Amino acid sequence: MARALGKPKKTVDLHSEAFMEDLDRYERDELLGEAIAYLREQLDAAIYWGYPEIRFIHGKGKGILKQAVYDELRYYKQSGAIANFHPAYHNDDIVVVLIGL
């Protein structure tokens, strides 16, 4: 049986310029929505492929992307899809998502 989802990278950059083109066509809130949709796609693929963890780069900025990422990860944790998440020890611009126990 072939796998339906492609394997994600172990560290995924959620900044729009890392995975989108023609950024000037989008409003700021649309870019945030695209980043969260990309997080879901990559996290779902990591779960599918049995990754023990995946890292997401959200950066510093004003913290809007970081807050949205953490809100989304709280939902995944409450639903039981992931075990936990925390800032990377060496860089708090990155969140580490622990998928399995």
pLDDT at 3: 57
Q: 86 with 95: CB under 8 angstroms?
A: yes
Q: Name the amino acid, one letter, at 9.
A: K
For residue 40, pLDDT beyond 50: yes
**CA-wise closest residue to 67 among 19, 25, 12, 14:** 14
Indicate the pairing of strand 84-87 with strand 53-57. unpaired
pLDDT at 1: 45
pLDDT tens digits for 63-101? 999 999 999 999 999 999 999 999 999 999 999 999 986
Share of the chain above pLDDT 90, in %: 73
pLDDT at 101: 64
Residue 51 CA to residue 89 CA, distance in Å, equals: 20
pLDDT at 21: 85
pLDDT at 86: 96
pLDDT at 28: 86
